């Protein structure tokens, strides 16, 4: 398409900005008009936008189609956990969210490999064409199988002032993190975007405290389980996507692995996550979230500590990635179930929207911090006379992520003994 690098970067960035910026509003709207309705329409919109992406004649068309595709994705993501919460009987919420986590892990494992095959066989447009049959199946199954929303929030005017403050706040934060992954956090535009985002978030909080029908009910954060779950969830996504970003760079540079082999080795992480997630959800249903979340992030911190050692063999690297996947697989279903059970049934979409917005921010933050640590190592090596290279960069990134995983483990452990999510839902 003769597009510049900056335009190509926006193909990914516009999707993330629209998705994360709109997901809370879509979740609030779904609580009022029905989650099945918006979820099914979201599948249809995502499918049509995928067709638009596949047929794009120029970069402008592709960017617009990606923005529309992100709106459809927000309609899906804002309702996914909410539909599980309001549909599952008591005692099975953790197991259900564990199965969802396993499905996400399988998608994460297959995505890069399938994408590479599609591009190799038919070009980049087939990455979007493949969504069309999947989307049609999703719309049909959604209409036939998903339950209607029985408990709805009162139909009130959407909190437009809150939305007007939230979207640019999230957008400025994501733009800052995207730029920081390339030029570092000391870059003046990055600092300016971070400051703007902080100011807008303060404005958003002030508006929500005064709003009669807020976009996000801030009283949810007064509950330790919810606020702690959101904070540790953000750290877990940061750790996951930080590792997913720096590991392929390290494998290709340090071990001279071709991209296909590096990607294959990396899949041990999501595969391990997917294998243990359903069992972890079952444990959370029986004993609460405290044990699996603290143990899971503790295991993740230990696995990352193994990767900090200089020049581990490929087998040790693979074992560390698998252990990290097991730790995150223990943590994620239990934490998501605990957060999803917060609030009332008519707030399930709002809660689901906040959870998925956290995932988007954690993803961007993980890439930015991982890239910053990875790229900072050569400069430190030059100034101190230490041997540098990708090995030191990977060690610095793994050490930083290990510390953040340990912080998440401590937050999970220091919380009061948890009640199973099913018990809170019965109450």
Domain that holds residue 169: 159-214
What's the token pair of residue 233?
């969830």
Which of residues 46 and 121 earns the better pLDDT score? 46
Structurally, the chain folds into a number of domains equal to 2
CA 419 – CA 424 distance, rounded (Å): 7
What's the token pair of residue 123?
């070009």
| In a domain? residue 330 | yes
Last residue of a domain, one of 214, 233, 248: 214
Please write the tens of the pLDDT for every residue from 185-215: 888 989 999 999 999 999 999 998 888 888 8
- Whether residue 145 is found in the same domain as residue 167: no
CA 105 – CA 208 distance, rounded (Å): 35
CA 202 to centroid of chain Cα atoms: 23
- Report pLDDT for 158: 82
Mean local confidence (pLDDT), 83-109: 79
Cβ proximity of 237 and 331 under 8 Å: no
Confidence of residue 426 (pLDDT cuts 50, 70, 90): very low
Confidence of residue 393 (pLDDT cuts 50, 70, 90): confident
CA 81 – CA 352 distance, rounded (Å): 6
**Highest mean pLDDT of the ranges 51-60, 159-168, 185-194:** 51-60
Look up the CATH number of the domain holding residue 300.
Answer: 1.20.1250.20
pTM for the full model?
0.84
Please write the tens of the pLDDT for every residue from 228-240: 999 999 999 999 9
- Whether residue 196 is found in the same domain as residue 321: no
- Report pLDDT for 257: 81
Please write the tens of the pLDDT for every residue from 240-272: 989 988 888 888 888 888 877 887 888 889 889
């Amino acid at each position: 398409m003769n597009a510049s690098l900056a335009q190509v970067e926006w193909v990914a960035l516009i999707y993330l900005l629209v998705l994360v910026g709109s997901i809370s509003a879509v979740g609030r709207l779904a609580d009022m008009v029905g989650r099945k309705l918006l979820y099914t329409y979201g599948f249809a919109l995502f499918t049509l936008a995928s067709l638009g992406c596949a047929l794009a004649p120029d970069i402008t068309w592709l960017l617009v189609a990606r923005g529309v595709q992100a709106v459809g994705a927000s309609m899906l993501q804002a309702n996914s956990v909410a539909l599980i919460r309001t549909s599952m009987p008591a005692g099975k919420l953790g197991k259900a969210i564990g199965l969802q986590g396993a499905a996400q892990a399988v998608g994460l494992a297959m995505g890069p490999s399938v994408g590479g095959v599609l591009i190799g066989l038919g070009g980049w447009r087939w990455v979007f064409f493949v969504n069309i049959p999947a989307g049609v199946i999703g719309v049909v199954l959604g209409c036939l199988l998903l339950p209607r929303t029985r408990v709805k929030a009162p139909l009130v005017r959407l909190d437009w002032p809150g939305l007007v403050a939230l979207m640019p706040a999230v957008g400025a934060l994501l733009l800052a993190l995207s730029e920081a992954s390339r030029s570092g956090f000391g870059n003046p535009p990055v600092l300016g975007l971070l400051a703007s985002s902080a100011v807008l978030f303060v404005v958003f909080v002030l508006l929500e405290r005064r709003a009669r029908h807020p976009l996000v009910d801030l009283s949810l954060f007064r509950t330790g389980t919810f606020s702690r779950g959101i904070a540790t969830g953000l750290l877990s996504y940061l750790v996951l996507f930080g590792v997913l970003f720096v590991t392929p760079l390290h494998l290709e540079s340090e071990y001279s692995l071709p991209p296909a082999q590096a990607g294959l080795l990396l899949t041990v992480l999501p595969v391990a996550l997917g294998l243990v997630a359903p069992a972890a959800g079952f444990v959370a249903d029986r004993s609460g979230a405290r044990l699996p979340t603290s143990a899971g992030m503790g295991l993740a911190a230990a696995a990352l500590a193994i990767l900090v050692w200089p020049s581990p063999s490929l087998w040790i690297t693979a074992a560390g990635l698998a252990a990290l996947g097991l730790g995150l697989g223990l943590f994620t279903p239990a934490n998501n179930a605990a957060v999803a059970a917060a609030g009332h049934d008519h707030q399930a979409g709002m809660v689901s929207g906040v959870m998925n917005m956290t995932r988007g921010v954690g993803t961007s933050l993980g890439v930015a911090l991982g890239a910053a640590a990875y790229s900072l190592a050569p400069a430190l090596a030059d100034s101190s006379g230490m041997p540098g290279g990708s090995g030191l960069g990977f060690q610095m990134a793994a050490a930083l992520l290990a510390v953040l995983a340990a912080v998440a483990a401590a937050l999970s452990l220091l919380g009061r003994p948890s009640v199973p999510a099913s018990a809170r839902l019965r109450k």
